Each structure stands twice: as structure tokens, then as C-alpha cells.
Structure 1
């Protein structure tokens, strides 16, 4: 499984494409490009029959460069990494961090692809893909891209619970540029599996990840915010930023989409320090958990007063958004 971390939460657990599927996609793309080249060249030659041989040769070279080099670059740029052959094989070109590629990535891949695919009949590309741990050819290495599989079973993708609604947009001013991809991967994997972990182990892991994240952002987590909720809120903020960067019309804040807040506010999703540990016995008597966020775990004999107000923020937590220190 790939160690990609995508801000769109789509490509993180996609697997790098294997050589056979990539080779088939390239052959399909080349077949389409060659057919288009032959058809266009025949039309141009018929239309310019009155020109001399040198002019016809120049036009043929121009058609070759335009269709066999410029065509794939334009297609990958406009489709965000999905050419006709890759769509048929269920593949996609993404950046090293899992985000969508842009023109400069497609340009580097296309120009180097002329040498390692067209001029060497694919020998260099095959050797580079076999040597690379993630099956990358030279064009991918220089462009900072990776070809991944899009068609994977949905059961392989872990669900990341959204953060509590009172954390929506609170980390919009956080600088996330220094956070490494490996830490994003560890945070996402923890959030998708935290309900399966031992309560104490999960709590200590969340604290450690939150400390590492705060060290890279330069801003500690706000007091009173559980470590797991802090991790989920920052991860969602990164996803929102990547979505706005990729599509340009994403939500302005890092809030959860419709219906996500209710899921996040469910008891046990992001509870107090022993996020799933329950009350710790003291002197043989159970101690009720402290209310954190919007959900509280009442004492067993609290009776009908089990539903606390859901809209009022805690008194020890500022109602305004999170602002990093100057």
C-alpha cells in the first residue's frame, strides 16, 4: 500500500501502479496518438500538395511534435493526470504528496517520455520502473509524480471521523507547510483505527502525534481540546486547503461537510483523555468523565439528565477561532 498523503483524502491509500498496467496504458495512449498523427498528417499532406518537399517535411515534424509530444501533455494537464489509456486501466498520475498534477508536472513527464519511451522504445522506462520501489520512471522522478491505481475496493479505505463542529475553522491560520508526509500518514492511520486500539494505547499515541504535529507547526494544541480531536481538525483543515487549491471553489473554512458534525459529536468519537477508556476507578468508586467538547459522558445514575446542551461551547475554551501566537 502506498504511503501517499492526499489533502483530498482520496489518494492516500491508493496503491502505486504496477509495470504491466502502466505499459498497457502507455500502449493505448500511443496507439491513439499514432492514429491521430497518421490521420492529421495525411490531411495536411493532401492540403499542401502544392508545397515543396522541404515544407512538407517541416509540417510532418511539426505534426509529430504537436500530436505525439504536446497532445499527451495537454491531455494529462486538463484531465489532472488521467489520459485515455490511464482511464481505461484505472490509473492516475498524482504528485508525490498525492495532490493533482499541473502543467509543469505533465511537461516534464512528456519531454522526458520522448527520450525514455519513444526514442528507446520504452527500454529505459521499463528499467527505471523495475528499479524504483514505487514503479516510477525517470519522468516521474524528475517531475515529482507517481502513477497510482484508482480502482480499489472501498473496504480498503479507512474512514476518518470528522472533528467536532466547535473546531470547524479554528485552525485556518495554522502553518502546515513544514509537516512531513510521513506524519500526515501516521495521523490518518491513527484516526482510521483509533476505535480498534486499546484505550490507553490510543490516548498515548494521540498525545504523541499531537506533540509531533505541534512541533512542526510551531503552535501547540489549545488547552481543553482532546488530542484526537485536534489531529482530526488539523487534518480536515489540510484537506480543505488542498481541495480549494485543486478545484478553486471549495469551502472557505475547514468545517466538516453537511452531516459530518453529527457523526463527530457522537459519544466516544473524540472523548476526553481516555478517549475510549471510560472512567478510572478511584478507591473502588467510579469517577464520571469530564465533559469535553459538545458531548459529555454522564454518571451512570444521572437519570434523565443525560442529554446536555449541544450548542454551548465549553467555558474554558474561547468561542473565537484559533489564532497562532505572534
Structure 2
């Protein structure tokens, strides 16, 4: 009989390792951190086991743990004490994100600090922009996003990551950064961000649930593929340095299409709902957490992601380091 014996390359662990096509590295991971005002605050997010709200007095301990695991990049989110209709604390020199960035860069200068650039955590209505008669105003919002990006760059952010999905947000932020002299600060665009049901636990963590309506007028319809390509093309033309797909797991096809079409580094956001489902299943003994997490992360790399924002970063780094 003449047939292919594919199992020849699977017969031992060393053989499987030898021919493995896709690899996870600790340097692939970007770990999200949530900072809050006050002191002595380390409070677990109820819907995200192992993820905490941290006050800045815990920052050094957290950063040293991250560095010790070999994680090289973090993304910073802030939860302010005070909110208003225009999210003014997002671009406040002494805002929680700006203070956190300055302290991180003092403690760990070589750690890559990414600043999430949006208004939703900072507005009292929970939307990502200026509201008028119940609508999110696109162009009026752009000016505030540019101010936020400049304030984050001034604090020491290495990368600006705008997540708001306003039309023209990359162009506005690039212009704002350049005019302020931050020519060398790159933009990691949330280029393809779907109006997903997987964001629920994050909104618990960031206190950013919309107080009315939803975000479907600015985040993308999960049914659309070609729209993702248009969004990515626009952001590239406007000066994006990275592209991101959010969420990751239900949109691996989009990751692959962007990787095949565009030469920019590609980021997958392994979002809160994807994290919490596995944590809940693991806590109930229904799945093996380590194996299912690593399989999920490798699927994102295989689909084309160069980097992965994941709440599993510390867990996965520990497993990979042990291995």
C-alpha cells in the first residue's frame, strides 16, 4: 500500500518539538494593569479571578514580579475617583494613568509601557467620546483623544494605544503627538474592535459600562469581515505603527486576513470574557487551565498575532519558564 505516514513526525515529544511550526514566547505577552487612586488597595475584580485593582503603592511590587517572569510589556488602564461628561481626568497631567506611567518608568525604565487611550473609563456616561443629544460626537472627541495621548506620552508612555474607534482617531493622535514633539512615540491602533459581548468583565474592572445605549455606532458589527479590512487600511494610511484585533478568539479569521495583507506588527487582545470563562471552568474542575490557555494562545500566534494582550500573561509566563 502507498499512503502518507504523517505519524512519523509525531512519534515522540522531541520529534514533535523539532517540527513544531508555531511557538509561544514570554516576550509575546502584554500584561494589562488596572490602577486606582488611594492607598493600600489591592482588590480582586469579582468577575476576573487573579486580576486586581491596584493603588500606586503596590506598583513596585507588581512591576518587579512582572519583570521577574520575563514579561517585557504592559498596558496601563486607570480608574479615576472623579468622572465628568468629557472625561477630563483622561488628559490630566496628574491623572491616575499619567501618575502610574511616571512611576513605572522610574522603577523599570526598560519595561515597555503602553497607554490605553480612551475616554470611557473617565466619562460619567461611560461612552468613548463627547455626547450631544444621546449621540457620540466623532470630531469633537478627536481633540480630547489627542490631548489624552500627548499627556500620556509626556508622562513617559512608550506606545499609545487608542481604543475608541472614532473615525480619524489615528490621524488626530498622530498629528497631536507630532506637534507636541513626540515623533518617535508609536501608535498601537485598536484598528479592528468589535461590539462584542466578551467585554463584560473588563467593564467591571474599568468601571466603564455605558450608562445608556451601547457602543454599536462606533464599534464594529461582529458579522462583518470586509469592514475590518477597511478599518485597518484607514489606520495604516493615517500613520498606525501596530494593528490590533479585539477580541481575539472569535476573530482568528480576521487576524489571519490582516497578517496576510499588511506588513505591520499585529496584536491580538485576548479579552476579559475569554479569560473569565476559562478561569470559571478551571475553578470548577471542568478544564485543565494550563493546557487550554496555552492552546488558546498558540491559536492566536498561529492565526498571525505577533503580540498578545492577555490577562493570562503571568500564568502563561510561569508555565513557559517552568517548561
TM-score range, shorter-chain basis?
under 0.3
Larger Rg: 1
Structure (1 or 2) with the greater strand fraction: 2
Q: TM-score, normalised by structure 1?
A: 0.22
Q: TM-score, normalised by structure 2?
A: 0.22
